Amino acid sequence: MTLSLQEACERINDARLPEDLFGVEDVVLPQEQLQKFLEGEYRTLKAPLDSGDDDPELPCSVGDALRKLELLYQEARDRISRFQYGMLGYDQPPPRVGRSFTLGANRYLIGAKLNRDDEYDRFQAYLERDGAYLGEVEIKLASEVSHNPLLERELRAFDVLHKTGVPQWKHLPYVMDRFESNGRRGIIYRSFYGLSLSEVRKKRAHARGVDQKHVAWMLDRTLSALGYVHKCGLVHGALEPETLFINDRTHNVIITQWSHSVHRPAVTRESIAVRNVRENPYVPPEVLGDQRVGPWSDIYALGKTMIWCLGGDPVENSIPPGVEQEWVDFLLAMVHEDPYCRSRDCWELYAQQCRIKDSLWPRRFLHFDVT
């Protein structure tokens, strides 16, 4: 993209935050990828300034534009280094906040409680750093000390998953801080945009089931993410409609709730402990039978979730009429009761579903209505 001197000066003059100038990434990506994105935008804006002369028609002088560009560029680099780029800030303290606490240079202002269950409490919160209100975060706190191991499993999972910078980060929450309060473990996540699949199905447009073309891209994104998860030796262990979040604007899927994950279960013999397993149709039979779990267990739970998403019955494995037979066969193979009859490789399933999609429909972006 080539900008005129007038366009570059207008964009720089109007920018308040680095994100105003360089653009906003809705998801967390590895630093290297975000830095590459930032440098491309920076060069595009700087080129017309380097060869331009002042003109009374410009909204600011070329020198002022260059200085502001450099300042915002350095600020963007700093935000990327702290995984805070894209967190749109506030001019003043957010409303409806109560207590606050500080971890290092970060101050967190606590807002509304989002839920309470037997295992943990979730709170809306806001990040302040160096006097600037940088945006919204989420606090997750063990409801009692005995539930600390669940949050420790979650932290371990993200330490493993974020050890290597890969594009699949965009499908994962990001831990910004960790802490203890009265002996209870706590995690602070960067907030993300999206609705759980359970919330999606409550929308009028999807009350009877999500269209198979949309389910196809949801399955695509989740299989790609799980391919990386399993390569890292992790099994999520609790995939269901409540744990998969959908970003309708970017067609992104984010996998949440890692407190029941296991790492290298073939070696460690860790088991998946999921609540209400006997009433939960998404729990693989090998968990109920205390048998060996692995990638095939996540594949089962994902298949059940997609059947439900289509408007089917995950207990009976019934899929609504009108769904293409190729998808019916694909999903039923994922939920075979015998784990040895399921695929054990999400990358293999990812390639297979790509072939099915391409054989049925042309590739194009479809607007997803969540109103």
What are the Cα distances from residue 158, in Å, to 154, 170, 274?
7, 13, 19
Q: Of 3.30.70.260, 1.20.200.10, 1.10.287.110, 1.10.10.10, which CATH number belongs to 5-81? A: 1.10.287.110
Amino acid identity for residue 103 in this structure: L
Cα separation of 54 and 360, whole Å? 56
Domain ranges, ordered by start, for the chain: 5-81, 100-156+175-190, 195-360
3-state secondary structure of 196: strand
What are the Cα distances from residue 251, in Å, to 25, 88, 312?
14, 21, 22
- Residue 84 tokens read as 């805070």
Cα separation of 353 and 356, whole Å? 5
**Residue 128 forms beta bridges with which residues?**
107, 133
Cα separation of 232 and 223, whole Å? 14
Is 30:166 a contact under the CB 8 Å cutoff? yes
Amino acid identity for residue 68 in this structure: K
pTM of the model: 0.88
DSSP-assigned states of every residue in 92-156 = SPPSS---EEEETTEEEEEEEEEEE-SSEEEEEEEEEETTEEEEEEEEEEESSGGGHHHHHHHHH
Is 219:232 a contact under the CB 8 Å cutoff? no
- Report the CATH fold assignment for 100-156+175-190: Phosphorylase Kinase; domain 1 (3.30.200)
Cα separation of 3 and 39, whole Å? 15
Is 83:190 a contact under the CB 8 Å cutoff? yes
* Each residue's pLDDT tens digit, 116-142: 677 899 999 999 988 888 889 999 999
Task: Name, in order, each residue with C-beta under 8 angstroms of 25's C-beta and a sequence gap of 6 or more.
Answer: 34, 37, 85, 86
Please return the burial class of 352, using the count of CB atoms within 10 Å of its CB with bins 0-12, 13-18 and 19+. middle
| CATH superfamily placement of domain 195-360 | Transferase(Phosphotransferase) domain 1 (1.10.510.10)
Is 262:272 a contact under the CB 8 Å cutoff? yes
Cα separation of 186 and 365, whole Å? 38
Cα separation of 4 and 147, whole Å? 58
- Residue 204 tokens read as 């009028």
Half-sphere exposure of 1 (CA within 13 A, CB side): 10
Same fold for the pair 5-81 and 100-156+175-190:
no
> What is the full per-residue pLDDT of the chain (371 aa) written as tens digits?
678 999 999 999 999 889 889 987 556 788 888 899 899 999 999 999 998 888 888 899 999 999 999 999 999 999 898 888 888 777 777 877 889 999 999 999 999 998 767 789 999 999 998 888 888 999 999 999 999 999 999 999 999 999 999 989 999 999 999 999 999 999 999 988 899 999 999 999 999 999 999 999 999 999 999 999 999 999 999 999 999 999 998 899 999 999 999 999 989 889 887 766 667 899 999 998 878 999 999 999 999 999 999 999 999 999 999 999 999 999 999 999 999 999 999 999 999 999 999 999 999 899 999 98
